[in-house]
Chain A
């Protein structure tokens, strides 16, 4: 009797402890290969960074390093919440993480999450980057460097030669550039195009064009968009925002937009089915167009100058989170990937335009052409603009505010709001978002 009871007690105790252990076991156990053996570095990216060849080269010269890339092809909307959660949780992020410029401002507000690259000899690299790109990577007090610049988003206008021909418009890129020195000219060309009823719209979606016009107008006038340089929300008082909005309303009003919400599945289908003739394209967009329109449309696309006067949209940075276990190795790799050589390699692979003046001046970039875009001299088109770019300052809640304004534009585009109602929405919701 006694023994039986003991055995049962033992069984009970065993079950209970197993359950406890089971519940807590998942908590520990990630110190894989703490010392010795090759170091695995994880690089978190979104979209296409074009680093595959560079990894191979780096691993060949550093046999003790193994590189794994995560997130290739994922969009920024999926990537950034994940990254934020990793940073908030204190674990999970890659050894190197890519950060888009619009989001960098938010991460900069909490610099304690990242390694200060200035403590690791990054100051010597300043000359490798365009001044403004370097400065964007610094915190407000200039004491911490969060990220090293990768690409910049010099602008152009990509267009379909075949659709232009169908509408009786010139197809040569020089001639097309001359058609639209300004946005009102672009609208006029659009109206001519629309009148010919080719079955395609003139442009994909108003929001893409709105962003282009805003960043361009802001770059050429105030130097900031939704926030002034004192981080005060100026959506309703910055003339650049209102001007960009009004121009976009004219485009919508003229019926030029195909209303394919950017990055949606319909947008991707519209590329494949040749449903629009032009799209505002920052340098990184060329890779997106090629991916969406597919090999069937090779040679049908070309690149002309953007209406208005140059501008910058997008561009990213590489940062090293403090939670990483191999910070020293990660910093070395980040330096390599953002070096002039690394940036040239990425450009050749997937088209992101370098932020390094040395790379921008390199014949490998300047003389490069893009076969997909009718062998357009992409290097010259984008690189020239990039050197004279005027960057736009972005405030702390830039992403949230931009979301509100973009959605207001989209609601007008879809006929759900009048332009005036849309503007009221944009301003009201932007204020609400900024306060959250």
Chain B
């Protein structure tokens, strides 16, 4: 019973009717506007969950907004000027950037190296490739808790091992630099394999004959890697760097769970490992409940990420300039 439900039997057209032209109009409307409707869901969702919170956060940051308070007086840019003069905020920025550099640089280099290894002919290649992703699948909270125990001052395994080689116990949580290293170790453990797989995917798109002709020209493995793989991987590396920048500067769970006990959100009594997001949380929620100030931190963090990502991309463009120079254009 294949009945065309919506196709009515043609009604005898009235002479000189507007009907055909209406159809044409509809069809024109369709070709012109329906693509916008098709992509509308994304923008609607982005508007609701992206733009609106962003704008609302900015609106909140212009107010003296006690989370529980009944009224929220407008204070203009006071929160921002106060924040720019707040040493604790800058302290957290330095912490975040420090942890970001310590974790991201070795992480991406290691990922590149791992990807290069995985790109060779290996036995059980798929198993190895899956294996590098396992750390990424485990829950951040579990990872952070395990690492916090490993890096314990008195009962931690790392200090126990250090003791065996004659190094004094390190107070990983109370020493600013040591805490950065410990947190970076967590981040690296989790994200190296993930980045390695992204690099691997890009590597596989590089034509084999490039390597073959390079080999005929007498280029060794290392030379092939630096002269072919890395330049051709540049767009992927830039992508990975931007993603890592966003993730790295928003670091929260690892340092938060690394510090346990009262006021863990402070990252230690002297804020040794407090990141910007932790500082934001400390202000917006317990113990200050100052939502306006917290929102201002969120916006400055946004600006910081944009700046750092831009700087990274510029640096990368310059560093890996080799490929561009060879470009005939």
Contacts and interface: CB of A to CB of B under 8 A. Distances in A.
Contacts of A16: 37, 40-41
A357 interface: no
A414 B174 contact: yes
Interface string A267-282: 1011001010000000
B254 to A, nearest CB: 15
B269 A416 contact: yes
Interface residues of A, number: 55
A173 to B, nearest CB: 29
A273 B153 CA distance: 14
A20 interface: yes
Interface in A1-21: 1-3, 5-9, 12-13, 15-16, 19-20
A310 B231 CA distance: 73
B171 A84 contact: no
Interface string B151-169: 0111100000000000000
A434 to B, nearest CB: 10
B67 A85 contact: yes
A113 B40 contact: no
A261 B288 contact: no
Interface stretch (B215-223, B257-265, B303-311): B257-265
Contacts of B7: 3
B27 interface: yes
A161 interface: no
A374 interface: no
A132 interface: no
Given A6-B6, A266-B154, A80 B171 contact: no
A81 interface: yes
Given A5-B30, A15-B37, A269-B154, A436 B283 contact: yes
B287 interface: yes
Interface string A406-425: 11101100101100000000
Nearest to A410: B269
Interface stretch (A102-110, A312-320, A380-388): A102-110
B270 interface: yes
20 contacts: A2-B27, A15-B41, A16-B40, A19-B44, A19-B45, A77-B264, A85-B67, A113-B68, A264-B259, A264-B261, A266-B155, A266-B260, A267-B261, A403-B263, A407-B263, A410-B269, A414-B171, A416-B269, A416-B270, A433-B288
Given A5-B27, A266-B260, 7 more contacts: A1-B23, A12-B34, A19-B44, A109-B68, A264-B264, A265-B152, A275-B154
